[in-house]
Amino acid sequence: MPVVLSQEEVSQILSSVSNIKHKAILMLIYSSGLRVSEVVKLKPEDIDTERKLIHVKEAKGRKDRYTILSDTAMETLNEYLKEYTPQRGLFPGAKPGKHINTRTVEKIFTVAKQRKYILM
């Protein structure tokens, strides 16, 4: 059985993240139901702020789909976009022209979970 986090636990994990890029990634995954492999491949043009939608291209099964963009996630994403100006990918990685690695996102979540327990 998968572990399901309570709303309070999710809130504590998200508030333990101080890096706005990391927070935006985790908020999009949580609030929009994105897979890690989907969030890392997003491009700025995939975000429709007027309709509050995210266009996920070539998702599971190589199918395109839309998912919702919550107000809270949109606020965090806007903060991120004010601080950073991504060109190709929404979340660029360490290597120029490449998106952030899925393993990096997994590590961001692991560190956030550990910080949550330290802050309690």
Domain range summary for the chain, segments of one domain joined by +: 7-112
Contact 74, 32 (CB under 8 A): no
Q: Pick the residue with more confidence: 115 or 56?
A: 56
Q: Does the pTM of the predicted model rise above 0.75?
A: yes
> pLDDT tens-digit profile of 4-13?
888 999 999 9
Q: Cβ–Cβ contacts within 10 Å for residue 100, how many?
A: 22
| Fold category of 7-112 in CATH | hpI Integrase; Chain A (1.10.443)
pLDDT tens sequence across 13-52? 999 999 999 999 999 999 999 999 999 999 999 999 999 9
